[in-house]
Structure 1
């Protein structure tokens, strides 16, 4: 009998437990499914009307991508809900939480009360439609629905009265786990944040987890050291400035709550700064409170960033620096124990300490080049406050705060690929400020859009604006009339432009596709007048200087099974009876200037892809035609296509770089220079013998090797390029390289050679001499540059969007 009573009690208790559990789940509050490790949480009442209010208050050109994307997502979500989005939104609230789901991925979880929405009815409608594939699975006793719409996968779950949707099913699983464990719930863990006074009729509330967020910004983690772990913020918008303000939770960090910082320090940060922080720290030995500034700015001579620490001269007299330390030179290298300890506490590397003394502040860096470039900025007063948009932004931030952080977000985001989406690219400047109030920190975050960014053009002498975006470099040649520079370029609609020395348009014409070769200057009629020859993937064109296409042109691609990859011109004995060589995959062709295929080359079929079109040179009264293949085979052939003695030869690794012909006065002094993909150089004689081999330094398996030839093909250099270093003739420079970069070499004679490196994403070109020291300042530019030097003046031809420009630099 006792056993039966015990068993009955267990059954009743089990039923009661299940009832309570199911009852709790049914009455689940929306905040009970938001994970505590969320990086950001955005809460908004009546989301549809809130979005309408927000978007209507924005100017037409502000956050264009945001408006476009949200409106598209709302349309898709409405379709997903079978046009019931208004039913779901009215008198409801929406919580959007951002979580990190992998090293480089962040995903959103959308949660709301299901309201009057009949979710089962929606699912049945979706099953009946052809738009979605509907499936389900069980996770922790809850049914997860998955909806596939082409490439888009939505996952959803209903927990009590709450519906959660995400494009990442891991977040749906996380929401289920969170609903069953208070210790995982954002509101329960951060209860102090919810005790703040929340403003009504604003755009919503934002909760930011700076502690978790900092883990994704390893290179700038020191910025977060000045911030509380977490904060709650109201969200408002006025004109194109967005205001977030509220109180932060208690933090374990020793934040500045003692003194108000010097607002003047912001006035001396460079125009091209990435961030600026202004706060205080306590010196661990003598307990002095030290105010400091810290900023990073982009170099004008490379693609590196410089970081500088700033201290007030008067307030920090305990540094024990003497005015005599700065007698001979404004920049001095010192050894100072106190300064070294302070820099250590700021997590600032200081193997060496260089100081520049300004009127009011000491500027400190561990890099001498950083100091010299800052001194140049300081002397020319090229400060950020002089930028109109930044100056306007400063008027909207608070004065006399305990901590201020200013971020040039459009620049900072370039360091982190996960910030590269189109919405975040619309953010320009961010300010974060802390003010100590009753043992808490009142946090203010402002940001603006870059929709109205003021475009600053280079100080150009001449410009030309094309109809459409330019897609080719400016090709420069010299007129046969007056020897003045002329320019050929092309836009994205395949319009060719010929410009005169003043960049006035001489003519334009529409062709079939993009130019794939550099324009070659020929004298087609042998009358000392120049014509321009170039190729697209389908045709070969030739124009005179007035824009008339020559008879017989365009010549169609002779290859029946591939496109034209490259062309070269051959003039055997300077008779102007030109031959045109071209490559198409593994086929080599020679045609005369009328387009007729030549015997032995119609086509010459090779075993692998050609690196370039057949190249001609003449030495010792003989004509040589050079062919190189990606598999490492190198051929020297005669006019008929037969191999010379000793050829072909094969190098050890694959070939991707064009071979340099080191042309001498005779066969003995002439050689071929080849560089294979693993950095091995081969000097090859005309007799087919390798006279010299040399292995370039290979820092890693990712090292890339380049053989760069100057435009006149009289000289060359070899580069080794890693992700973050360039090697040239035993010289190195830290330089962040990318696969899309282009590298050019210009040899001016007399040792005046230099490299031009163009980053099309950043739209900048960098110029380095042969010691890898800066030659010119960085120039706004997208494609490869062209360069001429005349009477000690350099002229650099650049492109940016629709504009072609000439920049004049006095040497």
Structure 2
């Protein structure tokens, strides 16, 4: 950038003003025009955050250095720092981008001042500059003491052209005598819209812009067979080159705000050139209502909204007729029509009223993403009859029963839905184009007037549950923040949650870009969301792009540090051992978007990795290879994971469960030799035992429970005997290592969903509660004792331990909005009532005889810590809306408390 003020020695008086654009190469994919050196406000919060990236900070310092030299040297004209400048990027050699800077001079005296400036900035004497002629103009090459060309520049008329690549200077000189961008009517159209108050304007040449993107993307080719028996090859770097016909030119004015960057301007497109954006020609902007139709877990969506449905699809078909994809698309649609026995395009079009949406809802570690494809319908009854008719025709054609393609699902809100298997998963991309290629439409259902397709039955069921419970995108804080700056009506809407999409970085970008993303992850994660909209008005296409920035929250100055996760915490954070540095612990936690994060003792994210669903129960650390290195073992409802300290799955994991899990996995090491056994209960009412390597354990012969197990399976060793213990809604099972009954308890009661714990104070016993809150001591000889504390609902949570150090257990309950603590005799020690239902209860050991009780009021974003007498720990309540962990993060340091808040942060407090 410093080079934009370096000029030639020719003594010429300049009187004629020439447009800066005249020298911009036609091959440049984009360029910007800045209104002087101070076009970027360095005191803006977003700019200040970006300055934490050394490359960006160096650029700011360079510009500041130029300004300082101009201000301090009396022989340099001060107006030079205010002179407009164009910075273009163009390709040299093997698609490598280099900058070329174009500005102007107004007099020979300015030139003399600028020659002094270049000498000051480079430390190279003007007498060593080398001049040569090119196409009638002088090019000056500046070499350093090693003979390396620092930059080249030329004065051509009243324009000055500078670049570190002499080829670009020569290209700009040649451009002066050839038709250029100023002869392009689409460029002139967008150029007339530059806002007077805009200090930075971006110009995009859409014919070449895909080549710019291709330079950043992953070039790996992935192969997958589609439903037509063909092999689809996905290569992002190659595929992005196909969008060169999106439009002609765009101009976007850059504005800086405290919580976002915005780009606003217009795009020029023409249907005679088969520009894709012309599909929106003749439309009026309408509300997409995407935030009402998509779930809170949405990571990305794209949608078209239109006022004239028939015109939209007519324009779409006309675009495809003139595109390279025409014949392949027609062939696939013809195959669908043969099986549906109808005009697929016409029938699909009639299912749509005024919008189509496609979204990514989950990003797992392996397999494919969870995706949705939503059509807004005219009338549910008519649309459902039409859709079922298409499927019935397909079933008849394939000689299968139509009802075999249909199942019923009851949502969490007790609503019944018909789920249809759909035979053409790649329909969205075939029908609507490459922007919808990421969607897989395998299952479908109707909800209200929408037809929803999903990549799997599970994704569809979760969508229906979320919608029925009101968990829509509009309730997401990241979306809500950026939506305030968005247009209320648009024709094209694109939204991305940057923190969620960060997990896709290796799939999307090349290794160089990924190194930068990972090196500066903490900074990039503060840019929480991006929203891009196109509004068609009188066949002019207006753009509004917002990049949201979430400033460091100021809500709790007591936190030692806070780490931006991008989504609320889903499970209790855990303090874990760092086997590479045991003096410093780490934190592992999952957020509500199923991202698993490992965070160091200072609050820096080490890595983030997506998993297939919410983690059930605890994350266990195991030494799988018996070499002192620890891994993390846990399960979702679908899989058992074993992940190493780099976030990578190891050995034969993940293991796919035979039935959805209903509890968190537990790990037993019978002989303390790191030959682990894993126990998990599943929806089919079986308890599965796995050997060390994740294979089914042959010696475990337990059949089935009569009900559902939700608490972890327990292993107790008492008097040299082993006990495997678990419970469902009807009984407690006390088995041996083979799964055979070891103890038949005489206690007959309906167990609660709380975990069974071992208590060794006095006679060893197992402790749990009944469904209505009675405490049961289950002894290992089959006898029991029943303790009355209070009457509680079936949703109560229970913990037992010696909290006050008297050698006897205390009973701790939470039920709805109350915390209750009793002694062993059933006497109430204290009770606390809160404004909302409590999330969970946990016990924490501060010393051998001192334990504390922790509860969370998630609705109020407050956490509490009480001693055995009900006295609150100093400084509480603190901010937090999740369960919390307490532990020593650094050897010799204080106890730390780690908790999530309602703003998507992980907070760390130090306890005195």
Q: TM-score, normalised by structure 2?
A: 0.46
Inter-partner Cα distance in structure 1 for 2:652 and 2:485? 35
Deviations 1:32-68 (A, max 9, x none): 11123333322222x12433xx233446854343773
Q: Which runs of 5+ in 2 are unaligned?
A: 1-11, 215-234, 306-311, 318-344, 390-402, 410-416, 554-563, 588-620, 665-674, 680-711, 716-754, 756-883, 891-895, 901-912
Q: Is the 8 A contact 1:82 1:122 kept in 2?
A: no
Residue 233 of structure 1, CA deviation: 2.7
Q: What's the secondary structure of 2:269's corresponding residue?
A: coil
Equivalent residue in structure 2 for 1:180, among 168, 177, 187: 177
| Cα distance in structure 1, aligned partners of 2:72 and 2:123 | 15
Bigger shift: residues 66-75 or 213-222: 213-222
Q: CA deviation at 1:26?
A: 8.3
Question: Equivalent of 2:431, from 344, 347, 358?
Answer: 344
Give 1:249 deviation, angstroms. Answer: 1.4
Match of 1:263, SS state, is coil
Question: Is 1:40 equivalent to 2:30 in the alignment?
Answer: yes
User: Which of 226, 243, 250 lines up with 2:262 in the alignment?
Assistant: 243
- 1:68 maps to which residue? 57
Distance 1:129 1:23 in 2: 25
Corresponding residue for residue 113 of structure 1: 104
1:308 to 365, 368, 372: 372
Secondary structure, counterpart of 1:55 in structure 2: coil
What is aligned with 2:493?
404
Gaps (5+ residues) in structure 1?
Answer: 1-21, 465-472, 476-487, 500-708, 716-741, 779-785
**Residue 701 (structure 1) aligns with:** none
Cα distance between partner residues in 2 of 1:710 and 1:233:
53
SS in 2 for 1:447: strand
User: Which residue of the partner structure matches residue 458 of structure 1?
Assistant: 569
Counterparts of 1:217-236 in structure 2, within 5 Å, are 219=236, 221=240, 228-236=247-255
Q: Partners in 1 of 2:249 and 2:19 — Cα distance?
A: 22
Shift of 1:277: 1.4
Cα distance between partner residues in 2 of 1:452 and 1:90: 33
For the structure 1 residues 43 and 357, does the alpha-carbon distance in structure 2 shift closer, same or farther, using more than 3 Å as the test? same
**How far off is 1:200 after superposition?**
1.8
Q: Displacement, 1:278?
A: 1.5
Q: Which residue of 2 aligns with 1:756?
A: 642
> Which one has the bigger strand percentage?
1
Tell me what 2:279 maps to: 255
Query: Do 1:301 and 1:777's aligned partners in 2 also have CA atoms closer than 8 Å?
Result: no
- SS of 2:536's partner is strand
Change (3 A) 1:195 1:158: closer
Q: Residue 164 in 1 paired to residue 158 in 2?
A: no
Inter-CA distance 770–255: structure 2 relative to 1 (3 Å threshold): closer
TM-aligned CA deviation for residue 95 of structure 1: 1.4
Question: How has the CA–CA distance of structure 1 residues 227 and 365 changed in structure 2, closer, same or farther, with 3 Å as cutoff?
Answer: farther
Q: CA deviation at 1:391?
A: 0.5
Equivalent-residue separation in structure 2 for 1:746 and 1:250 (angstroms)? 53
Distance change >3 Å, CA 194–CA 362, structure 1 → 2: closer
Structure 2 residue aligned with 1:792: 713
What does residue range 433-582 of structure 1 map to in structure 2 within 5 Å?
Answer: 433-452=533-552, 455=565, 456=567, 458-459=569-570, 461=572, 474=577, 490=581, 495=583
Q: For residues 68 and 94 of structure 1, do their structure 2 counterparts lie closer, same or farther at Cα, with a shift above 3 Å needed?
A: same
In structure 2, the partner of 1:395 is 484
1:274 positional shift = 3.9
Aligned with 2:408: secondary structure? coil
Summarize the alignment of residues 411-810 of structure 1 with structure 2, pairs less than 5 Å apart: 414=505, 415-417=508-510, 421=516, 427-452=527-552, 455=565, 456=567, 458-459=569-570, 461=572, 474=577, 490=581, 495=583, 711=623, 754-757=640-643, 760=646, 768-769=654-655, 792=713
261, 280, 304: which one pairs with 1:279? 304
Over 3 Å counting, the alpha-carbon distance change for 1:43 and 1:122 in structure 2 is closer
The answer to whether the Cα contact below 8 Å between 2:577 and 2:586 also exists between their aligned partners in 1 is: no
Query: How many angstroms apart in 2 are the aligned matches of 1:402 and 1:42?
Result: 26
> Using the alignment, how far apart are the partners of 1:240 and 1:36 within structure 2?
35
Superposition deviation, residue 361 in structure 1: 2.4
TM-aligned CA deviation for residue 373 of structure 1? 5.9
| Cα distance in structure 2, aligned partners of 1:743 and 1:224 | 46
Would the alpha carbon gap of residues 81 and 159 (structure 1) be closer, same or farther in structure 2, given more than 3 Å must change?
Answer: farther
> Matches of 2:659 and 2:241 in 1, distance apart?
30
Change (3 A) 1:497 1:96: closer
1:328 pairs, out of 403, 408, 411, with: 408
Map Cα deviations across residues 597-645 of structure 1 (whole Å, 9 max, x no partner).
Answer: xxxxxxxxxxxxxxxxxxxxxxxxxxxxxxxxxxxxxxxxxxxxxxxxx
Change (3 A) 1:272 1:457: closer
1:134 and 1:369, CA in 2 relative to 1: closer, same or farther beyond 3 A?
Answer: farther
What SS does the aligned partner of 1:294 have? strand
Q: What TM-score results when the alignment is normalised by the length of structure 1?
A: 0.51
For residues 20-35 of structure 1, the aligned pairs below 5 Å read 28-35=18-25
Residues 444 and 351 of structure 1, relative CA distance in 2, 3 Å threshold: closer
Contact 1:273/1:297 (<8 A) preserved: yes
Aligned residues: 516
Q: Identify which of 264, 270, 280 aligns with 2:289.
A: 264
SS at match of 1:182: coil
Contact kept in structure 1, 2:284 and 2:537, CA below 8 Å: no
Decide whether the 8 Å contact of 1:427 with 1:447 is kept in 2. Answer: yes
Distance across 1 between alignment mates of 2:149 and 2:659: 50
Secondary structure at the counterpart of residue 268 of structure 2: coil
Provide the residue aligned with 1:621 in structure 2: none
Cα distance in 2 for residues equivalent to 1:96 and 1:800: 52
Contact 2:203/2:249, CA 8 A, preserved across alignment:
yes
Whole-angstrom CA distance in 2 between matches of 1:765 and 1:60? 44
**SS of 2:291's equivalent?**
helix
Contact 1:228–1:255 (CA under 8 A) maintained in structure 2 = no
Question: Aligned in 2, Cα 1:242/1:788: closer, same or farther, shift over 3 Å?
Answer: farther
Query: Which stretch has the larger CA shift, 454-463 or 756-765?
Result: 756-765
SS where residue 296 of structure 1 aligns? strand
Deviation (angstroms), 1:163: 2.4
Q: Equivalent residue of 2:43, what SS?
A: helix
Contact 1:295 1:307 in 2 (8 A): yes
Q: Closer, same or farther in 2 for the Cα pair 1:383/1:71, shift >3 Å?
A: same
What residue number does 1:292 align with?
Answer: 356
Secondary structure at the residue paired with 2:37? Answer: helix
Quick one: distance in 1 between partners of 2:888 and 2:644?
12
- Which range is displaced more, 374-383 or 441-450? 374-383
Q: Distance in 1 between matches of 2:653 and 2:359?
A: 25
Q: Which secondary structure does the structure 2 equivalent of 1:441 belong to?
A: strand
Distance change in 2, residues 1:364/1:173 (3 Å)? farther
Distance 1:211 1:798 in 2: 56
